[in-house]
């Protein structure tokens, strides 16, 4: 086996040290990076919506419905990277037909079904029910038929019925908060439970995943709110934008502190794996971890957000800084997922060798497929906003304000 390993390393010049034959090529590629990235956006967007509904943060009212629709759009696309990676999507139903309660990955199907059917769809339906009934009365043709179907025959729009909808919606939101935590926390749980991999094995992994999900969800809603408002030629609510920036800054600080604590803990333990991890960070992951995740995706956004939120700047300058910070946060969180998934497979179990990941362009595991899956939620969101407009009726247009 040793000779086979040496021969294989010679055939893969960028691999270094002692590698086991089955570790030259990574089993999880770009699609497995995309999967936790999408689920994190779902959880973060829903938690943001719950701040307005449950904790009465009125400044976030302009993005409440937009957050819900964003969470639903990304939720519908979240399992697709896994299905494409497996190559046999028809087998996905087997997790429901033959449930395996001892497997965290197998239980994902139930977590997903609970969150989609019981939390997101029900909350959106109760929140929109009155509006759907009114739209079904005012619309014509196909749109009228769609709204009638969506109303499910519940056409009562009296104050008592609307109050009932509001109470039920609030209860569902309260149930949805721990569900959102569970949805993304379990992804970190899967990685953190792999004791044989020192890059993944950490009790902080689920918490780090959870807070990075909150960070990415807030940044996404901020981006979507700013872009869609500008495209519709409406005035951006600076009260809402400032609150989003403030929440994003606080979440980013907590997330960075947790990741720093996890890193310090690994250094303090200094197990036999520390040398290979240090070599990996300073070599294979230097660009994606040090430059992209920490510098571009964390340090610069934190400074931008702090300056925009607490500095004495004109509104236009604040908007630019918020927009740049939110975009860089997305880049940083995607790099975080990359560093976890790909980084955890780059070193050998011998702890004496490193391999490389070669990104393909075409095919089910390729770059174009990943880009299509990342773009799909925005297409779904566009359709949903046309069918269920989330915009506040009191929005002022730019032309009338200037």
Signed CA dihedral, 159, 165, 169, 171: sign only? positive
Measured CA to CA, the distance from residue 216 to residue 221 in angstroms comes to 9
Q: Is the overall model pTM greater than 0.85, yes or no?
A: yes
pLDDT of residue 13: 58
Residue 278, Cα to own-chain centre: how many angstroms?
28
pLDDT of residue 2: 46
pLDDT at 235 over 70: yes
pLDDT at 398 over 80: no
179-232: pLDDT as tens digits: 777 776 777 788 887 877 888 888 888 888 888 888 999 999 999 999 999 998
Would you put residue 396 in left (φ > 0), alpha (ψ -120 to 50) or beta? beta
Measured from the Cβ of residue 284, the count of other Cβ atoms closer than 10 Å reads 21
For the ranges 42-56, 121-135, 388-402, the lowest mean pLDDT is seen at 388-402
259-263: long-range contacts, CB 8 A cutoff, minimum separation 24? 259/208, 259/336, 261/204, 262/202, 262/204, 262/205, 262/208
Alpha carbon of 42 to those of 216, 369, 382: distances in Å? 9, 20, 16
Measured CA to CA, the distance from residue 207 to residue 211 in angstroms comes to 6
pLDDT at 288 over 70: yes
Q: Are 303 and 317 in contact (CB under 8 A)?
A: no
pLDDT at 108 over 80: no
342-353: pLDDT as tens digits: 988 888 888 888
Would you say how long the chain is, in residues? 402
Measured from the Cβ of residue 54, the count of other Cβ atoms closer than 10 Å reads 15
Mean per-residue pLDDT of the chain: 84
Measured CA to CA, the distance from residue 122 to residue 165 in angstroms comes to 10
| CA gyration radius, the chain | 23
Cα–Cα–Cα angle for 152, 157, 161, rounded to 5 degrees? 85
Measured CA to CA, the distance from residue 171 to residue 352 in angstroms comes to 53
pLDDT at 11 over 70: no
pLDDT at 292 over 70: yes
Q: What is the mean pLDDT of residues 157-181?
A: 85
Q: Are 139 and 147 in contact (CB under 8 A)?
A: yes
For the ranges 86-95, 136-145, 258-267, 299-308, the lowest mean pLDDT is seen at 86-95
Alpha carbon of 33 to those of 86, 283, 301: distances in Å? 14, 20, 22
pLDDT of residue 338: 92
pLDDT of residue 12: 58
Q: What is the mean pLDDT of residues 257-286?
A: 84
Q: What is the mean pLDDT of residues 374-395?
A: 88
């Amino acid at each position: 086996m040793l000779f086979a390993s040496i021969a294989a390393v010679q055939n893969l010049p960028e691999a270094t040290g002692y590698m086991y034959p089955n570790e030259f090529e990574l089993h999880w590629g770009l699609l497995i990076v995309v999967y936790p990235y999408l689920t994190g956006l779902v959880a973060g967007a829903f938690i943001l919506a719950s701040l307005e509904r449950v904790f009465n943060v009125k400044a976030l009212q302009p993005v409440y419905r937009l957050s819900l629709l964003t969470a639903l759009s990304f939720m519908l696309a979240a399992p697709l990277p896994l299905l494409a990676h497996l190559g046999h999507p028809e087998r996905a139903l087997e997790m429901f037909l033959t449930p395996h309660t001892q497997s965290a990955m197998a239980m994902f199907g139930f977590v997903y079904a609970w969150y989609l059917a019981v939390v997101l769809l029900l909350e959106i339906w109760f929140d929109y029910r009155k509006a759907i009934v009114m739209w079904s009365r005012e619309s014509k043709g196909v749109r009228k038929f769609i709204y009638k179907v969506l109303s499910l025959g519940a056409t009562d729009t009296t104050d008592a019925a609307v109050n009932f909808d509001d109470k039920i919606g609030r209860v569902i939101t309260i149930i949805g908060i721990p569900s959102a935590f569970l949805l993304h926390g379990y992804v970190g749980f899967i990685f953190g439970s792999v004791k044989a991999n020192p890059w993944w094995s950490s009790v902080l992994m689920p918490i780090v995943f959870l807070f990075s999900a909150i960070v990415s969800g807030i940044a996404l809603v901020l981006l979507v709110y700013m872009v869609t408002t500008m495209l519709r030629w409406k005035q951006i609510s600076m009260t809402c934008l400032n609150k989003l920036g403030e929440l994003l800054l606080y979440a980013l600080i907590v997330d960075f502190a947790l990741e720093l604590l996890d890193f310090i803990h690994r250094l303090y333990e200094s197990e036999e794996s520390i040398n290979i991890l240090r070599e990996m960070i300073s070599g294979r992951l230097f660009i994606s971890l040090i430059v992209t995740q920490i510098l571009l995706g964390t340090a610069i956004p934190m400074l931008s957000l702090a300056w925009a939120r607490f500095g004495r700047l004109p509104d236009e300058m604040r908007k630019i800084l918020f927009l740049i910070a939110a975009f860089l946060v997305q880049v940083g969180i995607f790099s975080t997922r990359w560093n976890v998934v790909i980084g955890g497979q780059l070193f050998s179990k011998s702890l004496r060798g490193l391999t490389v990941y070669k990104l393909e362009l075409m095919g089910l595991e390729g770059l174009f497929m990943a880009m299509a899956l990342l773009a799909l939620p925005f297409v779904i969101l566009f359709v949903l906003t046309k069918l269920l407009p989330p915009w506040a009726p009191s929005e002022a247009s730019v032309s009338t304000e200037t």
